[in-house]
Structure 1
Amino acid sequence: MTEHVTATREEWLAARLDLLQAEKELTRRSDELARRRQALPWVRIDKAYRFDTEQGEASLADLFGGRSQLLVYHFMFGPDYKAGCPSCSALADGFDGLVVHLANHDVTLMAVSRAPLDKLLAYRQRMGWTFPWASSPDGAFAFDFNVAFTEEQQRTGDIDYNYRRAGHALDMNPAPEPIVQLAGMCGTDAPTFARDRPGLSAFALEDGVVYHTYSTYTRGLDGLWGMYQWLDRTPKGRNETGAWFRRHDEYQHG
């Protein structure tokens, strides 16, 4: 016998209609937030970032691929990782289906990491992905956009991530068990794992000039996790206990 509240169909419908009003309010609020994102001022980028891509060395402008808008997913794959972050991997499982639609709407979607390109491409092949992935070998791009930090910053606590100073689970010492677990799944220790962080940055290209328009981190990425959008509509929701997810080729199917 279930312990959850039960009701007649009529009672359920009344509760559902009440919830529908809250959902509509959330949708309108989300639309307003999207307008505010698009209204943010742009910051001109004059620094000459360099990337390694499948087509060779590239500038930030080159990553646009002839389009006027660029979305960069800062994928956690540090130089010392043996495999990509399972969390980022779960999120990236949805990229391939989106790339073609975004490209036909004047938007390029690109993952960027600090690991060498050959390591990124080998992992992409393992995962069965095809979306474009670039390496920022000197790390300047990642450091400037606050998704990579040095050992010295870790020691001093001088880490500004998600627009605040420290306070994230990745900053804790000792690291909480889920971080230790994820680090182990990447073949590294927690401090090394935590020197790279996830994020999304948006850029515009006009008259040959690149502008930074938006960045978001941590829970700001929730809307990009396809599995979470589905789980939020299930009876038990996310029902999380630690880092429950795995890379899609690591689940035990029985």
Structure 2
Amino acid sequence: MITGETNQETRRSVVTREEWVEARRALLAREKAFTRERDALSAARRELPMVKVEKSYLFEEPNGKRSLAELFEGKRQLIVYHFMFDPSWDEGCKSCSFVADNFEGSLVHLSARDTSFAAISRAPFAKLEGFKKRMGWKFRWLSSSGTDFNYDYHVSFRPEDVAARAVEYNYEKKPFSGSEAPGLSVFLREGNDIFHTYSTYARGLDLLINTYNYLDLTPLGRQEQGLPYGMAWVRHHDKYDAP
């Protein structure tokens, strides 16, 4: 049975209110320093050089094929979430689904900041549409089937690279056992030109997961100690047992 129960102990000190406020102020100083460093890091991210996208890609959605330029929908910026969905799978990755559960509330706000959003996967569009309906999602999700898009942005891996233990992921070549990995890429449109400005992978996606951000505020945290891997507890949201 999948439940929300945990045996994790907090081992926290019990103190007076005055002692707690003193400890909280000390932590607040660290939090403020972290916020300033995060702001500086975000500024550095915006100053990264960019690469012109020279290759043409066509993605499938209900109304036919769409180019990368069309995904901007008139906006200057495009965020693409690389959703793990191998063509042979019957359902999308549970961890990517965990991330995707956080998308929809942001879309109208992204649009107000001249930014479009789409998820892209290698599975055929019919599989994406069926799984999307099952999950109750409304965000734009397209198939890159038949294109090099996933390979070019290093979120899908060819069998020969997996066999050679030379998969390029998160900016290094490494052994990798699967055909898919998660990521996010950002593109900028300047006139008729499109530029790739940023991609992040692995733990770089943590910021997208509000559930983690909430849990990180709690005494028990993410409760992932002792699991085979961090998200081993995660399920598709229709597979948790009722409380």
TM-score by length of 1: 0.88
Inter-partner Cα distance in structure 2 for 1:222 and 1:234: 16
What amino acid maps onto 1:157 in structure 2?
R
How far residue 239 of structure 1 moved from its aligned partner, in angstroms, is 1.0
How far residue 215 of structure 1 moved from its aligned partner, in angstroms, is 0.3
Kindly indicate whether residue 20 of structure 2 is the aligned counterpart of residue 12 of structure 1.
yes
What amino acid maps onto 2:30 in structure 1?
A
> Could you say which residue in structure 2 is the equivalent of 1:134?
142
Structure 2 counterparts to residues 49-128 of structure 1, below 5 A: 49-128=57-136
- Measured at CA, do residues 208 and 148 of structure 1 come closer, stay the same or move farther in structure 2, by a change above 3 Å? same
Kindly indicate whether residue 180 of structure 2 is the aligned counterpart of residue 159 of structure 1.
no
- Measured at CA, do residues 107 and 10 of structure 1 come closer, stay the same or move farther in structure 2, by a change above 3 Å? same
Give 3-state SS (helix, strand or coil) of 1:202's partner: strand
Residue of 208, 221, 224 corresponding to 1:237: 221
How far residue 2 of structure 1 moved from its aligned partner, in angstroms, is 7.4
Residue of 191, 195, 207 corresponding to 2:191: 207
Inter-partner Cα distance in structure 2 for 1:213 and 1:235: 37
Residue range with higher mean Cα deviation, 145-154 or 52-61: 52-61
- Measured at CA, do residues 91 and 2 of structure 1 come closer, stay the same or move farther in structure 2, by a change above 3 Å? closer
Give 3-state SS (helix, strand or coil) of 1:34's partner: helix
Q: How many residues get paired?
A: 230
Kindly indicate whether residue 236 of structure 2 is the aligned counterpart of residue 247 of structure 1.
yes
> Could you say which residue in structure 1 is the equivalent of 2:205?
221
What amino acid maps onto 2:158 in structure 1?
T
Residue of 27, 36, 42 corresponding to 1:34: 42
Structural RMSD (CA): 1.3
Kindly indicate whether residue 133 of structure 2 is the aligned counterpart of residue 144 of structure 1.
no
Inter-partner Cα distance in structure 2 for 1:154 and 1:235: 40
How far residue 23 of structure 1 moved from its aligned partner, in angstroms, is 0.3
Once the two structures are superposed, residues 173-222 of structure 1 have per-residue CA deviations (whole angstroms, 9 ceiling, x without a partner) of xxxxxxxxxxxxxxxxxx5xx21110000000111111000000001001
How far residue 5 of structure 1 moved from its aligned partner, in angstroms, is 1.4
Structure 1 gaps, min length 5: 172-190
- Measured at CA, do residues 2 and 82 of structure 1 come closer, stay the same or move farther in structure 2, by a change above 3 Å? closer
Inter-partner Cα distance in structure 2 for 1:21 and 1:107: 33
How far residue 54 of structure 1 moved from its aligned partner, in angstroms, is 2.4
Inter-partner Cα distance in structure 2 for 1:123 and 1:198: 17
How far residue 138 of structure 1 moved from its aligned partner, in angstroms, is 1.4
How far residue 139 of structure 1 moved from its aligned partner, in angstroms, is 4.0
What amino acid maps onto 1:199 in structure 2?
G
Structure 2 gaps, min length 5: 1-8
**Higher helix residue share:** 1
Give 3-state SS (helix, strand or coil) of 1:48's partner: coil
Residue range with higher mean Cα deviation, 31-40 or 53-62: 53-62
